Amino acid sequence: MEEEHEYYTWLFIFKRKFKISKRKPLPEMIEVFNACTNNESQMSPDHFRRFLIEFQGDEDVTVDYAKQIMEKVLHQLRPDFARCCFSVDDFFNYLFLDKFNGPIDYKVHHDMTAPLQHYFIYTGHNSYLTGNQLIGGCSVKQIIKSLKKGVRVIELDLWPTSSKEGIHVLHGGTMTTPVELEECLTAINEHAFVKSPYPVIITLEDHLTPNLRDIVAKMVTEIFGDTLYHPEAGDHNEFPSPEALKHRILLSTKLPKEHLDEINGSREDNISSLNHDLTQLFEIDFEDENEDAANENPGQKTTPGYTQLIGIHAAKPDKKLSKALTVESGKAKRLSLGEQTLERAASLYGTDLVRFTQKNILRVYPKGTRITSTNFKPLRAWMHGVQMVAFNMQGYGKSLWMMHGMFRSNGKCGFVKKPDFLMSMGPNNEVFEPKVPLDVKKTLKVRVYMGDGWRKDFSQTHFDKYSPPDFYTKLYMVGVPADVRKVRTREIIDDWIPIWNQEFSFPLTVPELALLKIVVREHDAGKDDFAGQTCLPVSELKTGIRVVRLRDKKGKKFKSVKLLMQFTLE
For 203-252, how does the pLDDT look when each residue is reduced to its tens digit (9 = 90+)? 999 999 999 999 999 999 999 999 999 988 666 678 999 999 999 999 99
> How confident is the prediction for the chain on average, in pLDDT?
88
Per the CB < 8 A criterion, the answer to whether 518 and 544 are in contact is no
Q: Is residue 151 part of a domain?
A: yes
Residue 216 forms part of a structural domain: yes
User: What integer pLDDT is reported at residue 234 of this predicted model?
Assistant: 63
Q: What is the mean pLDDT of residues 130-148?
A: 91
One domain, residues 214 and 326 = yes
Residue 508 domain flag? yes
H/E stretch holding 202 reads strand 200-206
Q: What is the CATH number for 513?
A: 2.60.40.150
Asked if 152 and 46 sit in the same domain, the reply is no
Q: Is residue 427 part of a domain?
A: no
Q: Are 123 and 83 members of one domain? A: no
Write phi, then psi, for 205 (nearest 5 degrees). -90, 100
Active site residues: 125, 171
> Do residues 256 and 206 touch, judged by C-beta distance below 8 A?
yes
- At 331 the pLDDT is 79
- Cβ neighbours around 549 below 10 Å, total: 18
- Within-domain flag for 277: no
Domain boundary among 54, 71, 101: 101
310-315 and 334-338 strand pairing = parallel
Long-range contacts of residues 38-46, Cβ cutoff 8 Å, at least 24 apart:
41/87, 41/88, 42/83, 42/85, 42/86, 42/87, 43/85, 43/86, 43/87, 43/90, 43/91, 44/84, 44/85, 45/70, 45/84, 45/85
Please tell me whether residues 71 and 197 are part of one structural domain. Answer: no
Predicted local distance difference test score (pLDDT) of residue 568: 97
- Domain of residue 343: give its range: 116-257+304-422
**What CATH number does residue 222 fall under?**
3.20.20.190
107-129 b/e with 16+ CB inside 10 Å = b?
A: ebebebebbbbbbbbbbbbbbbb
CB 544 within 8 A of CB 56: yes
Is residue 263 scored above 70 in pLDDT?
no
Look at residue 135 in the predicted model and tell me its pLDDT: 86
Residues 407 and 488 reside in one and the same domain: no
Task: Kindly state whether residue 299 falls inside one of the protein's structural domains.
Answer: no
Residues 315 and 460 in one domain: no
Specify whether 418 is located in the same domain as 391.
yes
Q: Are residues 359 and 450 in the same domain?
A: no
Q: Does the predicted TM-score (pTM) go above 0.85?
A: yes
**Nearest-angstrom CA–CA distance, 72 and 84:** 10
Are residues 470 and 350 both part of a single domain?
no
9: in domain: no
Q: What is the mean pLDDT of residues 447-455?
A: 97
Asked if 529 and 460 sit in the same domain, the reply is yes
Which pLDDT belongs to residue 295? 37
Last residue of a domain, one of 70, 101, 132: 101
In this prediction, residue 290 carries a pLDDT of 35
Domain boundary among the residues 390, 422, 454 is at: 422
C-alpha to C-alpha distance for 479 and 495, rounded to whole angstroms: 33
* Inside any domain, residue 7: no
Tell me, yes or no, whether 185 and 127 share the same domain. Answer: yes
At 321 the pLDDT is 87
Q: Tell me the average pLDDT across 330-359.
A: 93
In this prediction, residue 278 has a pLDDT band, given cuts at 50, 70 and 90, of: very low
Per the structure, the count of domains in the chain is: 3
Residues 6 or more apart whose Cβ sits within 8 Å of residue 44: 37, 84, 85
Q: Could you tell me the pLDDT band of residue 279, with boundaries at 50, 70 and 90?
A: very low
Please give the helix or strand (H or E) that residue 340 lies within, else none: helix 339-348
Residues 227 and 358 in one domain: yes
Q: Kindly report the CATH number assigned to the domain that includes residue 80.
A: 1.10.238
Q: Which of 138-147, 281-290, 434-443 has the lowest mean pLDDT?
A: 281-290
